[in-house]
Amino acid sequence: MIFIIKETFKSIGRTKLSFFFSLISTTISVLLIQIAVISVLTSKFIESEIKRNFFVNVFLDEGLSSNSVKEISEILTKSGYTKSIKFISKEEAREKFILETGEDFSRILKNNPLPASFVITLKESTFDSNKVKSAISNFESLDGVESVYFESALFERALNIIKLSEKYLWLLVSVFSFLSFYIVYSTLRLILENQSDEIYTMKLVGASVWMIRAPIILSGIIIGLLSSIVSDGIIFGAQKLMSSFFSFVTFSNFIRFELLLLIGLIVGPMIGLMCSIFVTKKIKINQT
């Protein structure tokens, strides 16, 4: 094992330029994967925010007693569709109308024509076209409910955009992952070709395939680990910079940077290990 470690660092020392380029290419690869992860996390946050801002308005019949309103509230809460519920009284509805339109109809009308209502935020698990329709149908069937309003067309459009963006994002992750492996694999293969004379010499003195492959594989892991540290440093610095420039945005709400840094530390050595294993597969004792 000591021999392998010594040979690894000797190999790195002999191929400083190749090692440097390999370090750069692996760092770029790790960054590409981290950027893809950031894109997915941001997309999930946007999706959650869109869903959180869709409300179902359940308008109540005129003249319901407080007990009837309470019963309807309990049924809606226990329906399995509801995440949160808020009661809007007739007076609150009037105040909201005046605030939004700037017109006070009480100057013309003696009675308040606006109904009391419940504003419901649906559970995220309910945000499926069929489930939403089922929820609305369930709410409409309740005694004491006059009507149910939900922006179905806008919801359908938003749902389609979310699904389409998810497909493209996972495609982006796949492309970035492939590019990452290809960049590192190509760089390590060039390094291996530059070391062909040394490998040939090791074969002549009777070194086993494992003794030849092990230093190269260990070099790949070291390159991956160093690349992860560099990449994590760039991500950490970028996060601090963005936080200072965009102080009004709380990035921690949708990007868990500690998870992102951990992914970087795992991905780098894994890329280095896998690519170096693939590169050294062609090494055989009977090669000349």
Question: Of the segments 131-135, 154-158, 253-257, which one has the largest average pLDDT value?
Answer: 131-135
Worst-scoring range by mean pLDDT, 112-116, 125-129, 227-231? 125-129
More confident residue, 274 or 44: 274
pLDDT at residue 207 in the model? 62
**CB burial readout 157-191, b (16+ within 10 A) else e:** ebbeebeeeeeebeebbeebbeebbebbbebbbbb
Q: Is the pTM higher than 0.85?
A: no
**Strand pairing report for 145-149 and 82-88:** unpaired
Which among 281, 202, 194, 283 has a CA at the least distance from the CA of 4?
A: 202
Proportion of the chain above pLDDT 70, given as a percent: 81
Order the strands of the 55-60 sheet from edge to edge: 82-88, 117-122, 55-60, 145-149
On whether the CB atoms of residues 185 and 279 are closer than 8 A, the answer is yes
pLDDT at residue 149 in the model? 92
* CA atoms of 109 and 105, how far apart (whole Å): 6
Worst-scoring range by mean pLDDT, 78-82, 97-101, 107-111? 107-111
- Going along the chain from its start, the domains and CATH numbers come out as 2-49+169-280 (no CATH), 55-150 (3.30.70.3040)
